[in-house]
Amino acid sequence: MGAGKSTIGTRLARLLGAGFVDLDAEIEWAFALPVDEIFRVYGEPAFREMESRLLKQALSVQGRVLALGGGAVLELENRELLRASATWVNLDVDLSTACMRLLDAGKARPLLGSDAELRALYLERAPIYAQAPHRVVAEGDPGDVAARIESLIATLEGRTPAVPASFIPSCRERVELPGRGYDVVIGSNNLDELAAELARLGSGPIALLSDWNVAPLHADKLLRAVAATGRELLQVTLPAGEERKGIGPVLEATDQLLEAGWRRDGVVLALGGGVLGDMAGLVAALCLRGLPFVQVPTTVLAMVDSCVGGKVGVNHRSGKNLLGAFHQPALVWADLSLLDTLPDRYWRAGLAEVVKTALIGDEVLLELLETKPIALLERDPVVMAEVVRRCTAFKAQVVVADERESGARRILNFGHTVAHGLETALGFGHLLHGEAVAVGMVAALEIGHVLGWTERPLIDRLRSILRSLGLPVSAPEPPPGLLSRSMERDKKLVESGITWVLLKDVCQPQQHVLPLSGLEDLLSQLRERGVLLARGE
């Protein structure tokens, strides 16, 4: 309960070179419903029956790491099966930690209500969890916990524990804006070096802004690192997810800073992905007319794209990122080890922004994507460090040339015209941003082909790259008229139409304003070419 089984299990699977199965996710797939809805619609007995059935199936395949929900071992038959067919390791957490993680996670959990109910359930199950043949304390960094389990397994198997991932020495890219330049520091396991960097950003308090997903994983580690500054620390937790990226949480966080007596020599640390970075950056922009802030990205998308450039903002009911500002960070700290807890779907989604960068401005990066997709999907740290460096260098170059997106910087919107429309029309959270961008890039090239600017081989090349990275090349079409209305409210709208970024060839982006009167015809072309799919296809 509250042990972080999915995050630790993913890390352990990588150390072992094994597959990973989250049994709760398999149950959700079988019912086509989230766990809390399964309990509500079918009841707990149906859930437990499916859980036991899928557990037997999962254990019939060797060489995998299997993460079980807290109730899976309540059945005696399941416990006996685990003893006979697996190395059963219980992740131990104390009662207070379990309560904090489960009650603050922001997720619906069918058997958990109040703090008292959670404590009662914990005490009821503790004797059963104690029957596990092996137990590991699941507190601290998830990577360290996974390493302890791997060491235990190695001992049981009579072999030497796996060697940890390569250490990546830090390197720097510079965003050289006049009077406001800043460094992007790229490395691995380098948070301990951050305190020295913060010394040049004033002497006031430090606010750590994170969200309810990332904070339990990384906040303590970052707070320990910056505690060396000796400065006052304030932690603020924001809601997670694109669907909650609104002005309300930003104003609440701003209230907390002002009520704490914040000063202009204070610093805001943004620990999280693109959504968190946008919200925390807007907090820094609004509070006292601008505070220095540091981006500490924890997702691929944030690390290769959104953490650089100073575009901060939130969604409005009319569309994506319609409320915001340009507020450059004072520093970007890209610690690749923070990506280790990222779920695979989010990892793949972030790679869409890498593909975008490669297509519009880095042919060497495009060749890397084509030749090393497996290394990227398996999270090779050396390859990923090079990817982050190249993406950062290219974006820095574009931002320096056009900080406020009045001209050349708009090429970074390649794929985003349709992507933002899909995200808004389908509902934030249906597609991850990177997934929408992947589809949007295919759409942009197909429209370029319709207009005679893009050759078919480039479209085929893009589709091949996206598929090799596990990214979509099509998306379900929203209800009639909704996509076009969403696109008409996008920031890329100008008086005469919508600004599209199209490609003549690799590294040859072109901006074209296409009239609104022809938008439905273009969307019809995307339907015919299989980019927009009718529901059920």
* Catalytic site includes residue 90: no
Nearest alpha-carbon partner for 307 in 353, 342, 253, 361: 353
Structure tokens at 11: 């890390």
90, 189, 315, 413: the catalytic one is 413
Instruction: Please tell me whether residues 216 and 305 are part of one structural domain.
Output: yes
Instruction: Please tell me whether residues 213 and 260 are part of one structural domain.
Output: yes
* Catalytic site includes residue 395: yes
Give the end of a domain, one of 320, 342, 364: 342
Residue numbers in the chain where pLDDT is lower than 50: 1-2, 104-107, 165
410, 420, 463, 492: the catalytic one is 420
Nearest alpha-carbon partner for 125 in 203, 72, 189: 72
**Domain assignment present for 390:** no
Q: Which domain holds residue 478?
A: 402-533
* Catalytic site includes residue 409: yes
- What secondary structure letter does DSSP report for 166? P
14, 433, 463, 492: the catalytic one is 433
- What secondary structure letter does DSSP report for 71? T
**Domain assignment present for 389:** no
* Catalytic site includes residue 449: no
CATH number at residue 56: 3.40.50.300
Strand partners, 495: none
11, 218, 395, 410: the catalytic one is 395
**Domain assignment present for 165:** no
Instruction: Please tell me the predicted confidence (pLDDT) of residue 203.
Output: 86
Long-range contacts, stretch 75-78, CB < 8 angstroms, 24+ apart: 75/48, 77/52, 78/51, 78/52
Nearest alpha-carbon partner for 235 in 244, 226, 248, 246: 226
Instruction: Please tell me the predicted confidence (pLDDT) of residue 144.
Output: 79
Instruction: Please tell me the predicted confidence (pLDDT) of residue 441.
Output: 98
Instruction: Please tell me whether residues 334 and 190 are part of one structural domain.
Output: yes
Q: Are 141 and 17 in contact (CB under 8 A)?
A: no
The structure tokens 């500002």 sit at 325
CATH number at residue 439: 1.20.1090.10
Instruction: Please tell me the predicted confidence (pLDDT) of residue 1.
Output: 42
Q: Are 315 and 358 in contact (CB under 8 A)?
A: no
311, 348, 379, 492: the catalytic one is 311
Q: Are 100 and 122 in contact (CB under 8 A)?
A: no
**Domain assignment present for 266:** yes
Instruction: Please tell me whether residues 431 and 518 are part of one structural domain.
Output: yes
Instruction: Please tell me the predicted confidence (pLDDT) of residue 116.
Output: 74
51, 353, 386, 446: the catalytic one is 353
**Domain assignment present for 442:** yes
Structure tokens at 222: 């970052």
Instruction: Please tell me the predicted confidence (pLDDT) of residue 537.
Output: 56
* Catalytic site includes residue 197: no
Instruction: Please tell me the predicted confidence (pLDDT) of residue 77.
Output: 94
Nearest alpha-carbon partner for 396 in 172, 176, 171: 176
* Catalytic site includes residue 372: no
Q: CB-based burial of residue 412 (10 Å sphere; 0-12 exposed, 13-18 middle, 19+ buried)?
A: buried
Instruction: Please tell me the predicted confidence (pLDDT) of residue 330.
Output: 96
**Domain assignment present for 379:** no
* Catalytic site includes residue 416: yes
**Domain assignment present for 353:** no
Instruction: Please tell me the predicted confidence (pLDDT) of residue 106.
Output: 46
Instruction: Please tell me whether residues 121 and 180 are part of one structural domain.
Output: no
Q: Are 191 and 251 in contact (CB under 8 A)?
A: no
Instruction: Please tell me whether residues 86 and 186 are part of one structural domain.
Output: no
How many domains does the chain contain in total? 3
Q: How far apart are CA 527 and CA 533, in angstroms?
A: 6
**Domain assignment present for 358:** no
11, 416, 463, 492: the catalytic one is 416
Instruction: Please tell me whether residues 151 and 205 are part of one structural domain.
Output: no
Instruction: Please tell me the predicted confidence (pLDDT) of residue 457.
Output: 97
- Strands 293-297 and 267-272, how do they pair? parallel
* Catalytic site includes residue 420: yes
